[in-house]
Every structure is written in C-alpha cells, then in structure tokens.
Amino acid sequence: MATPSPLSARDQTFLRRAIALSAQARREGHHPFGALVVSAAGEVVAEGINGARLPGGDPTRHAELVAVSRAARQLPPDALAACTLYTSAEPCAMCAGATYWCGVGRVVYALSEARLLTLTGRHPENPTLDLPCRDVFIRGQRVVEVVGPALEDEAAAVHVGFWA
C-alpha cells in the first residue's frame, strides 16, 4: 500500500469536493463515487458522479471516466497535461486508462482500492480489481503523478451501509 502523501490546502479542498460528489451520487441512487478535473489555475473543468448502477446504468460510467472525458472535450492536450483529477476513490484500471489516454497529468485520490474492498466485500455490483492505478500509469510512455490515498476515513464514511 502506498504511503499517504501530505496534501496542500488546495488538494484538500478539491479532494473533499470529490467526496461530496460521491455523497451526491449515493443520494441519487448511484454507487458512491465522485470525481472532478481541475486546471492548473485552480478552475473546475469537469465533474462526474458514478452512473454505472444497473439496470439502466452503464457499467463504464465511472465518475473518473465521466470527468476526464468531459475535460478532454473542452481542453487541448497541453492544458490537460497540467490538470489534476481528484477522485473519491483510487481509479480502477479502466479509469486509470481513460485518465492516461485523455492526457491528464496528475491524480489525487482519497480511498485506496484495498480499503474500498474492505467496505464492498464481494458485492456483485463492485467486483474490484486488485490493480493499483500506479501500476497502470507506470506502464505508459509519459508520467502521471499520483497522490493518495488521502482523507480515506472521510471517503470511506460515504460507503458505510451502502454495500450491505
């Protein structure tokens, strides 16, 4: 497990916004995950909540994928490279891939995949992959900075009772 990195005040603010988005997703009946992309200037470019819950949902509509794909439609590659993806949970392999392919240069996440598994157990709606996002990014040809886990207890609180 990665050692938690100290967060700047700005990182804490935006990471808490991602956690708030995860609470919004839960209130709306979705899996409790939220994410946002923030520019180098500190402007929110795009937000996303999970929309993967079946029936009616799309299993690929994870919050991170929603946020980075929206950002990629708005910004050129050089601006995306300077952006940060803030997410309530560590990006899964699919979302890490989407983040890489969209060109976002930095990821800050709250809840680790390992901690998420302790909350979800073997729930059929969230068959977690034991594949840290760092392992996905390190295979790429460009660097994606990763910070996390951080604020794990705050992010975990949103999941309590959801996966029962």
Burial readout 123-143 (b: 16 or more C-beta within 10 A, e: otherwise): eeebebeeebbeebbeeeeee
Question: Could you report the per-residue pLDDT of 6-62, keeping only the tens digit for each?
Answer: 799 999 999 999 999 999 999 999 999 999 999 999 999 999 999 887 777 788 899
90 flagged as catalytic: no
Average pLDDT over residues 121-129: 75
Question: Could you report the per-residue pLDDT of 66-97, keeping only the tens digit for each?
Answer: 999 999 999 999 999 999 999 999 999 999 99
Please give the structure tokens belonging to residue 143: 């660097």
Q: Is the Cβ–Cβ distance between 144 and 106 less than 8 Å?
A: yes
Strand partners, 49: 34
Start-to-end CA distance of the chain, whole Å, equals: 25
C-alpha–C-alpha distance, residues 164 and 156, integer Å: 14
Please determine, for residue 121, whether its predicted confidence score (pLDDT) is greater than 90: no
Handedness of CA 44, 46, 52, 53 (dihedral sign): positive
C-alpha–C-alpha distance, residues 34 and 120, integer Å: 16
Model pLDDT, residue 3: 46
Model pLDDT, residue 1: 44
Residues 47, 64, 90, 113: which is the catalytic one? 64
- Tell me the whole-structure pTM to 2 decimals: 0.93
Phi, psi of 21 (to 5 degrees): -65, -35
DSSP for 100-163 reads HHHT--EEEEEE-HHHHHHHHTT-TT-------HHHHHTTSSS--EEE---SHHHHHHHHTTT-
Q: List strands edge to edge, sheet with 34-38.
A: 44-49, 34-38, 84-89, 106-111, 145-147
